Chains A and B, each alone.
Chain A
Amino acid sequence: MARMSMVEAINSALDVMMAKDDRVVVMGEDVGVDGGVFRATVNLIDKYGDQRVIDTPLAESCIVGTAVGMAIYGMRPVAEIQFEGFMFKAYDHIYSHASRIRRRSYGYFGVPLVVRAPYGAGVRALEHHSDAPEALFCHIPGLKVVIPSTPSDAKGLLISAIEDPDTVIYLEPKRLYRLFKEEVPEEDYRVPIGQARLVREGRDLTIVAYGGMVQISEKAAQHVADEGVDVEVIDLRTVWPFDLEAIIKSVTKTGRLVIVHEAPRSFGVGAEISALVAERCLVSLLAPIKRVTGYDVLPPLAKLEDYNYPDPDRVVRAIHETMEF
């Protein structure tokens, strides 16, 4: 075990997988000599060479497009898009090809590709550097979408994503990159895709969150615990296809649900969770489902960022409203 931040854990996952499997290549803008703008790929080029740690030309579409080709050929590419807001140049290759080649070849070819990108707000960045586009990927048949919330999950989930036979969109909450450290195994280990984590057990209300919202939800849960409200917090980890069983089990027990995500509310992941809970366990509900999310706005620039980014206060308010219903 070693104490690692999330970005160090991601680096460790790439290192472990590159050492273990020479089909794994890392490619993207500035991932080589510079080690990535967040240093997620630092030192990899010294260990594995510029054939496998590749500084590409500045062209997101072709980074993912060629990675799709590599994956079809039999490699295990990990393509980095420098910021989530630049993924749309590559969206065509993700939407039209990475997710479809398996079906298009009727099961003959697969695209075992990981597209990594720093994700989300909370770091006072420029436009296109604070977006939360996960729902746009969840809506694509054939894809998996993963967003870790801790360093150890980040490593275990990334290893699972690299080993996955299908394309995984792996979004890294950039606010968490260096926010805290924890003990992370140095060797390879897996956190299975599709399995949520029970962060905190509780009787009264369920919070479903992921990425940067998990810690914020925990804080809110801690706050209301002093008032005698016992909140259960579930970290989805895999945003799609998510662990519905864990959600239903929890909501059936607590009868109350608050969903927290930083992405815009309408048509978001929270909407899908709400619909499924309504379909599966409506009669268990003691209060309407609440969503604490980013508003349906463009991610605000620095001065107004905090008004959009959910914080523990907003989550506490939602808990109160749900409990008082």
Chain B
Amino acid sequence: MSEMISVLKLDGTVDEEKIKAIPEDLIHKMYRLMVFTRQWNAKALSLQRQGRMGTLASVRGQEASNIGMGLALEPTDWFCPSFRETGAQIARGTSPKDLYLYFAGDSRGLRPPEGSRDLPICITVGSHLAHAAGIAWGAKIRGEKIAVLSSSGDGSTSQGDFHESLNFAGVFKLPVVFAIQNNHWAISVPFEKQTATKTISEKACAYGFDGVRVDGNDVFAVYLTIKDRLNIARSEFKPALVELVTYRMDDHTTADDASRYRTEEMLAPWREKDPIDRLRKYLTAKFGWDEKKETAFLEEISAEVEQTVRDFEAEPHPKPTDIFEHLYHDMPWHLKEQREEVARHQGEAAR
């Protein structure tokens, strides 16, 4: 069983030597993105309760894993998320407004920004690991020096696609890093019922490449490890499995009630490990971050989130005929006919 890589301690102290590759402005950026993600997420949950947002998987507690991953990628790298990577997606440049739009049930929110190399959210658990391997394979065949990062949860490691994708990556030496956010829960099934191994990282030995285990609530450790592994993948065609040990602090989604299977005693130790509190302690000790700065900062982020909500709610309702778009590159006759049917029934404004 491999040691857990950890840099930022619970009390906010750090071995400065280990983070000398992280410039100060990047540390501030990490903090900003983590706090933004938490507020964006909290707002989404609140909107959901008011009926203004659809089903959503809360990312609270996993902000360090998310932001560490999102910032470790190069712009030319590819990122393949599942559905609890909203923070990583925002860090990569997906617009927070588009994510709101999507979770409120509007497909238009799914279109990545121009030039994006991020796949849309993958809801079926584990399948996008194969897509990540395929993208890495394509890049290797074409001679493009990039790496691919996939992210999924501990539940995904039970899927056949996990095994097959890691096996292909090992056999063909693909420039891909498989990050697993081990948040200890797959809806109601705890980690120990998901697998008989003590860790996820040790599974890598079945595929002929490295597995590493990282404190997933430590943004420095996540960032440095993922960045290092992406570099190795890019330059040496060595894939890796990276386990980010974290915890899902909320229900699985807004449609779940975790109190049916999870107690406060289980959550308590993880409240102590909160990724944002930890980084704030560091900022306080190192850069003199104080309550006044924090208050102003939180207000600023909150205003930004409120503006995002206004922007997304100002979007006009999608046209009913939109359902026929983007199924094929060129719309075949049967869809054209069905689109006409909708337009006829709903009136020309539907078009």
Contact = CB atoms under 8 A, between A and B. Distances in A.
Interface string A58-95: 01011001111111111101000000000000001100
Interface stretch (A104-112, A182-190, A199-207, A213-221): A104-112
A38 B151 CA distance: 38
B164 A102 contact: no
A266 interface: no
A59 B164 contact: yes
B141 A25 contact: yes
A70 B138 contact: yes
B141 A92 contact: no
Given A102-B326, A107-B326, A73 B110 contact: no
A67 B172 CA distance: 14
Interface string B293-337: 000000000000000000000000000000001111110111000
Contacts of B138: 69-70, 73-75
Contact of B164 (A54, A65, A106): A65
Interface residues of B, number: 43
Contacts of B328: 102, 142, 144, 166
Nearest to A66: B134
B327 A103 contact: yes
Given A65-B161, A142-B328, A105 B141 contact: no
Contact of A165 (B108, B110, B116, B329): B329
A241 B164 contact: no
A106 B165 contact: no
B219 to A, nearest CB: 28
Interface in B146-169: 160-161, 164-165, 167-168
Contact of B130 (A65, A73, A105, A109): A65
Contact of A67 (B134, B141, B167): B134
Interface of B: 78, 107-108, 110-112, 116, 119-120, 122, 124, 127-139, 141-142, 160-161, 164-165, 167-168, 171-172, 325-330, 332-334
Interface of A: 23, 25, 51-52, 54, 56-57, 59, 61-62, 65-75, 77, 92-93, 96-97, 101-110, 141-142, 144, 164-166, 194, 241, 244
